[in-house]
Amino acid sequence: MQHYPSEYGHYDVCKSLMKSDEGIVWEYMACQPESTDMTKYLKVRLDPPDSTCGETPEKFCAMGNPYMCNNECDASTPELAHPTDLMFDFEGRNPSTFWQSITWKDYPRPLQVNITLSWNKTIELTDNIAITFESGRPEKMILEKSLNYGRTWEPYQFYAADCLDAFRMEPKSVKDLTHLTVLEIICTEEYSTGYAAHAKTLSFEIKDRFAIFAGPRLHNMASLYSQLDTTKNLRDFFTVTDLRIRLLRPATGATFVDEQNLARYFYAISDIKIHGRCKCNLHANTCVFDNNKLSCECEHNTTGPDCGRCKKNYTGRPWSPGSYLTIPKGTANICIPSISSIGTPPKFDRIRPSVSSLEVSNRKQANVCDNELQRCQNGGICHRNMRCECPAAYTGILCEKLKCEKESGGCGSRNGQGAVSHSWGLTPTVLLGAIVLARV
């Protein structure tokens, strides 16, 4: 099992102890795992599967010198093999290690290879995707994404030496995008020039898109986070379960293909960089890689690989993701115990038998409050693990509500009931979501 704990920063803490009038209590915050190198956790698949060179040893031409064609690829000889894992090994070695495709010996049949990268987990991209080619960069390529484990795909970005010719799209740069067009899928010609020693990298620009909201040096992340919070499409744009690199035409560096010398055409990739974090719906700050699978270590009484639902017996209100707002601590929106009618004692009494029967089958989970984690707030006292006895001014299953809220006119000039406000501590609902206090 591999842990990667969060370093200090915004949203790295799910809960913390704090002092209050009632003693030491828990404060809950929105939280997320830190961004990390996601290539360690992916599975790679080629289509067609036999696209790697050297199954039968073959000759290919040197990069940049198509007339030196004595290089050999042989999958059965380690020094001459170019398997897919060489796209993700430690770089910094010279010469670099790389995956290499078969050559274009079947010309004029297109030389096309799909490289599918799967996490089997929803992740959020946090930095540019950078693909380093050892061959010339492809003249035609599509980067695609899936949000449903590869069932359906959509384009992320088109890459071509000539966008109009290849995809009937006007060439664009990410720099042309604005906050109104940030989700546009563009074709770029910036990364498709043929053999050029100094230009090997192809990028999918996450940071430039972030910068549209957060400023050129990402100094205003608060602005980005508030956009992400309020715009689901924007959040989903950076979210994937899989990526697919569709290599559609290798670099030729010319308008024609040299049919006498097809061993000069192939794809070779030395490195792929992908940074991101597990998507945990702001309910976990840790993601573990166990049994070859990533999963969030859910807090806030949530569960599931993405913390996407409430734990059993914590369905006291519908699940909702945590919120980046309010900056900088967000709102935890924790799941609360399964007592649907938070509030008046008579109602509570009516549902008490079911709590009791639950308690028989699963004593620990059915507890409303207990002596280890006394959840009664505002000075409430836990009674037989079943209910909080609240001080006169408070009510609610956890004594989290001011009684006056129930009276007409509420506790003052507040309006809006139940809606999660994005300002601190104004309504009891917010109190419950953002800073649920529980005694320790």
Number of residues counted as binding Ca ion (CB under 5 A): 4
Which member of 97, 285, 303, 395 binds Ca ion (CB under 5 A)?
97
What gap in Å lies between CA 353 and CA 212, rounded to an integer?
55
What gap in Å lies between CA 321 and CA 87, rounded to an integer?
35
Q: Would you say 133 or 324 has its CB closer to Ca ion?
A: 133
Q: Would you say 32 or 270 has its CB closer to Ca ion?
A: 270
Query: Contact at 8 Å (CB) between 403 and 391?
Result: no
Determine, following the binding rule CB under 5 A, whether residue 190 of this chain makes contact with Ca ion. no
Site for Ca ion in 106-125 (CB under 5 A): none
Give 252-259's long-range contacts (Cβ < 8 A, gap of 24+): 252/136, 252/139, 252/194, 253/136, 253/194, 253/195, 254/194, 257/104, 257/107, 257/108, 258/66, 259/107
- Shortest separation between residue 83's beta carbon and Ca ion, angstroms: 11
- Shortest separation between residue 88's beta carbon and Ca ion, angstroms: 7
Q: Would you say 245 or 287 has its CB closer to Ca ion?
A: 245
- Shortest separation between residue 44's beta carbon and Ca ion, angstroms: 13
Which member of 22, 89, 162, 190 binds Ca ion (CB under 5 A)?
89
- Shortest separation between residue 249's beta carbon and Ca ion, angstroms: 23
Q: Would you say 60 or 319 has its CB closer to Ca ion?
A: 60
* Buried-state track 35-67, b at ≥16 Cβ within 10 A, e below 16: bbebbebbebeeeeeebbbbeeebebbebeebe
The residue number with the shortest CB distance to Ca ion is: 97
- Shortest separation between residue 98's beta carbon and Ca ion, angstroms: 5
Helix (H, G, I), strand (E, B) or coil at 277: strand
Q: Would you say 84 or 223 has its CB closer to Ca ion?
A: 84
- Shortest separation between residue 270's beta carbon and Ca ion, angstroms: 4
Segment near Ca ion (CB under 5 A), from 27-35, 88-96, 239-247, 431-439?
Answer: 88-96
Q: Dihedral sign, CA of 135, 112, 140, 211?
A: negative
Segment near Ca ion (CB under 5 A), from 54-62, 93-101, 373-381, 399-407?
Answer: 93-101
352 backbone φψ class: left, alpha, beta (φ>0; ψ -120 to 50): alpha
- Shortest separation between residue 209's beta carbon and Ca ion, angstroms: 27
Question: First vs last Cα of the chain: how many Å apart?
Answer: 30
Q: Would you say 212 or 272 has its CB closer to Ca ion?
A: 272
Q: Could you tell me which of 114, 87, 117 has the C-alpha nearest to residue 100?
A: 87
Query: Contact at 8 Å (CB) between 272 and 244?
Result: no
DSSP state of 79: G
Q: Would you say 92 or 412 has its CB closer to Ca ion?
A: 92
- Shortest separation between residue 82's beta carbon and Ca ion, angstroms: 10
- Shortest separation between residue 81's beta carbon and Ca ion, angstroms: 13
Distances (CA, A) of 403 to 280, 346, 395: 35, 15, 6
Q: Mention every residue, 6+ apart, whose C-beta is less than 8 A from residue 192.
A: 137, 138, 139, 140, 141, 159, 160, 161, 202
The pair of structure tokens assigned to 206 is 């996450």
Q: Would you say 85 or 106 has its CB closer to Ca ion?
A: 85
Which member of 86, 177, 282, 399 binds Ca ion (CB under 5 A)?
86
Residue 221 host element (H or E): helix 221-230
- Shortest separation between residue 86's beta carbon and Ca ion, angstroms: 5
Q: Would you say 131 or 431 has its CB closer to Ca ion?
A: 131
Segment near Ca ion (CB under 5 A), from 71-79, 87-95, 132-140, 414-422?
Answer: 87-95
Q: Could you tell me which of 121, 115, 116, 117 has the C-alpha nearest to residue 101?
A: 115
Q: Would you say 268 or 332 has its CB closer to Ca ion?
A: 268
| CA 201 to chain CA mean position, Å | 23
* Angle at 77 (CA atoms; ends 71, 82), nearest 5 degrees: 65
What gap in Å lies between CA 440 and CA 373, rounded to an integer?
5
Q: Would you say 98 or 394 has its CB closer to Ca ion?
A: 98
What gap in Å lies between CA 437 and CA 271, rounded to an integer?
47
- Shortest separation between residue 56's beta carbon and Ca ion, angstroms: 24
Site for Ca ion in 238-297 (CB under 5 A): 270
Q: Position 358: which residue type?
A: L
The residues that touch Ca ion, with contacts defined as CB under 5 A, are 86, 89, 97, 270
